[in-house]
A = this chain, B = another copy of it.
Amino acid sequence: MNTTSNKIGHVAKALGVSVDTLRFYEREGLLVPSLRSEAGYRLYSAQDVQRGHFIMHAKAVGFSLAEIAQLLDLEVTRDAQTCHDVKQVVDDKIQEIESKILDLRKMKQSLKGLSDACCGGEESAIHCTILDTLAERGNHA
């Protein structure tokens, strides 16, 4: 048993996903364990697990698996592109992220305005300020 290798169940737990999901990611070429045991068990290296963490992070912030693959593939396809191309991909992602952050901030402000105006008490919501505000503003963002 290689001390630097982890079986699928262990990795799944570490990443907070199911083993099915990991096998699915392998089929998709997103996270292919770098080793197999004699018996054919998937063995994930520490690097594989790192890659897994990257994937989970990217997923959590709304990147599709295809987009994540695009980022991860940069490494593989290195000599097929120029530095400029590579930097472009990364910079585009940064732009995307920034615009997502802006959207979230707007959204948060909007919700915060609602929350702050509400008493939060135990009475029926018939006169709830949040609901009144939503109605009045036509549910806008």
Contacts and interface: CB of A to CB of B under 8 A. Distances in A.
Interface of A: 46-47, 50-51, 53-54, 57-58, 60-62, 72, 74-75, 78-87, 90-91, 93-94, 97-98, 100-101, 103-108, 111-112, 114-115, 118-126, 128-131, 134-135, 137-141
A104 B103 contact: no
Nearest to A127: B83
Contacts of A90: 111, 114-115, 118, 130
A48 to B, nearest CB: 8
The 6 A-B pairs of least Cβ separation, nearest first, read A50-B138, A57-B141, A47-B138, A87-B120, A62-B62, A50-B140
A107 B75 contact: no
Contact of A78 (B57, B81, B131): B131
Tell me the number of copies of this protein. Answer: 2
A86 B82 CA distance: 53
A125 B61 contact: no
Contact of A83 (B72, B91, B93, B128): B128
Nearest to A135: B75
B140 A83 contact: no
